[in-house]
Structure 1
Amino acid sequence: MSATMTAKRIGMDVPPRRSRLGSTIAALIVGVIVIAASLDLDINWSETGEIPGELLRYGGLMFEHPNWQKLPRALFEMWRSISMAWLGAMLCVVLSIPLGMLAARSVGPAWLRIPLRGLFAVIRAVPEVIIALILLTVTGLTPFTGALALGIAGIGTQGKWVYETIESVQEGASEAVRAAGAGVAEVTRWALWPASAPALMSFALYRFEINIRTSAVLGLVGAGGIGSMLSNYTNYREWDTVGMLLIVVVVVTMIIDWISGALRRRIMEGARARGMGRTN
C-alpha cells in the first residue's frame, strides 16, 4: 500500500507534489540558447581532432629547447609586471577600504551606501583589458597604464569584499562601544576595524596575487611588462623564446603565490589566536 493511500486512510492531508514544469521549461530554454550560440559560431568541427597534435607540436617548439639567452631581459620585464601589480594592488586597497566601509549597512547611510554598491557592480562588469584600452588614450603605452587599470578594476571586487566583511563582524564589540556613547566613526574605528583588519589584509594580498596574473594579460595590449615581451615574440613566431617566457611567468607566479599564501595564513592564524586569547 502506498504512503499516500495510508495517509488518506488515517485522515492526514498530503501536500500536493511539486510541479517540475517550470524547472523543465527553464532547462529547455537554456539548452536551446546554448545550441543556438554554438551554431552561430564559425567553428569547423572537423578540425577539432587535429588540436591535440597541434598542441604537442607547438609545445615541442616552445619547450624542447628554450632560448635562455634572453632570460635577463625576461626577468627585468617580469619585475616590471610585479611592480605594476603591486602599485595596482596598493591603489585598489587605499581606495576600496574607505569606500567599502561606507557601503556597509552598519556604517554608511542608505543614500551613500546604495550608489557605492552600484559603482562597485559597474566596475566589476568591465574587464581590466577594456579599462587599460581606455587609459591608453590618456597615459600612453607605459606600465603606469597597467597599474592604473589594475587598481581601478580591483576596486569593484575589493570594495565588495570590504563591506561584506564589515557586515559579517559580530555585533558584541559594536554594541559595547555604542553603549559607551560612541558614534558611527568611533564604532568603525574601535570595533569594526580591529575585527575585520586581518581579513582585509588577507584580501589585499590576494588582490596582489590576482594582479600578478592579470598584468601579463594587460601587457598583450601594450601596457608593458612581461606580457608585452610575450606578445612581441609570439608575433614573430620565435617559439623558443616564447617557451622561456612562459616558464618564467609560471615559476615566478608560483613563488609569489606561495609567499603570499603563507603570509595570508599567518595573518589569519594570528587573528584566530588573538580571538581565542580574548575568550579565555
Structure 2
Amino acid sequence: MSLQRTDFAVPPRPSRLVPTLWALVAGVIIIVAAAGLPIDWSDLGAVPGQVWHYSVLMFENPNWEKLPRALFEMWRSISMAWVGAIMCVVVSIPLGMLAAHSVGPAWVRLPLRWLFAVIRAVPEVIIALILLTITGLTPFTGALALGIAGIGTQGKWVYETVESVQEGASDAVRAAGGGTAEVTRWALWPAAAPTLMSFALYRFEINIRTSAVLGLVGAGGIGTMLANYTNFREWDTVGMLLIVVIVVTMLMDTISGAIRRRIMNGARMSTKAPAKPKRTRSRDVDRVG
C-alpha cells in the first residue's frame, strides 16, 4: 500500500511592518521631545555627587527638636487623607455603579464615564490650586482636593468591578422577578463589596502620599512644613521631616495592606471539604431483662 504525498502550503511569515512603523514613530517623538528641552546633559555626571552632598546634610545629624510638631502635622495629613478617602468613596460608589453596563442606562452611563475621565486628567495639585481661591489655605482644601481627584479613579474601579461580577446571581434575581434595583442590591453589591472596600483602603494609602505633595501648595499638613524648611535651607530639619514621612507612610501602608488582605481573604469561600464528625462510642446501656 503506497502512501500518497500531500504538499501543504507554508503560511506566509507575518508582516512586521506596522509594529516597526509604530516603533519608529515612538522613537522620533521621544527624540524630538528630548531635543526640545533645554537640558545640559553635561550636568548629569554631577548629579550623584549632589545627591550625596544633600543626603549628608539632611540625614547626618537630623534636628529632632521639631519632632512633636512634625508628628502633629503628619497627623493632620493623615486626617486630610482619611476625610478625602471617605468623601471619594461615598460619591464614587453610587456613581460608579450607575456607570456599569448592567446597571445604568446608556444616557446615564456614558456621561458618568466621561466625567470620570475628565477628573482623572486633572492632577490633585491643580484641583487644590483652584480650591484655594474658594476655601483658602486650610486643611479642608487638601481633603476636598483629595476627595474630588479620587472620584475619577475610584469610579472607574467601581464600574469595572461591577462589570466583572459573574452573571449567575444576577440571572437568578431576574428569574425571580427582580428589576435593576433588586439585581444591584442582592446580586451585584454583595459580590463586589469586598473588592470595593479593598479599593477604598487603597485610595486612603494613595491619599497619604499625595497629602504631603498638596502641603507644598499651602493645603496644610506635613507638606507645608516641609516646604517652609526647604525654602529656608534648614536641611537637618528637612531630613527629620522626610524620616517622619517615610516611617509613618510605611506604617500606614502595612496596616492598611493587612486590613485589605483580611477583607479579600474573608470574602473568598473556602474550597476545603468540611471535616467529618468524629464517631464517639456510646456507653453500653444496661439491658432490661
**What TM-score range do you get, normalising by the shorter chain?**
over 0.9
Structure in which a larger fraction of residues adopt helix: 1
Q: Please give the residue correspondences for 1:201-212 in structure 2 after superposition, counting only pairs within 5 Å.
A: 201-212=197-208
Measured against aligned partners, the alpha-carbon deviations of 1:107-158 in whole angstroms (never above 9, x if no partner) come to 0001100111111111111110111111111111111001011000000000
After TM superposition, give the deviation of residue 12 of structure 1 in Å.
2.0
**Matching residue of 1:64:** 60
Q: 1:227 aligns with which of 218, 223, 233?
A: 223
**Higher mean C-alpha deviation, range 22-31 or range 183-192:** 22-31
**Matching residue of 1:217:** 213
Q: 2:167 aligns with which of 133, 155, 171?
A: 171
Distance 2:171 2:7 in 1: 51
TM-score of the superposed pair, with normalisation by structure 2: 0.91
Kindly provide the amino acid, as one letter, of the partner of residue 146 in structure 1.
Answer: G
Calculate the aligned-residue CA RMSD, in Å.
1.6
Inter-CA distance 277–198: structure 2 relative to 1 (3 Å threshold): farther
Q: 2:129 aligns with which of 133, 136, 147?
A: 133
1:33 aligns to 2:41 (yes or no) = no
After TM superposition, give the deviation of residue 32 of structure 1 in Å.
1.2
- Structure 1 stretches of at least 4 aligned residues deviating more than 4 Å after TM superposition: 275-280
Q: Please give the residue correspondences for 1:189-268 in structure 2 after superposition, counting only pairs within 5 Å.
A: 189-268=185-264
Distance 2:114 2:274 in 1: 38
Gaps of 5+ in 2: 276-289
Inter-CA distance 278–89: structure 2 relative to 1 (3 Å threshold): farther
Task: Please give the secondary structure, in 1, of the residue aligned with 2:268.
Answer: helix
After TM superposition, give the deviation of residue 40 of structure 1 in Å.
1.0
Q: Tell me the number of residue pairs that the alignment of Structure 1 and Structure 2 aligns.
A: 271
Measured against aligned partners, the alpha-carbon deviations of 1:27-70 in whole angstroms (never above 9, x if no partner) come to 11111111111111111111111110110110000000000000
After TM superposition, give the deviation of residue 278 of structure 1 in Å.
12
After TM superposition, give the deviation of residue 11 of structure 1 in Å.
2.9
Gaps of 5+ in 1: 1-8
1:150 aligns to 2:138 (yes or no) = no
**Matching residue of 1:184:** 180
After TM superposition, give the deviation of residue 22 of structure 1 in Å.
1.6
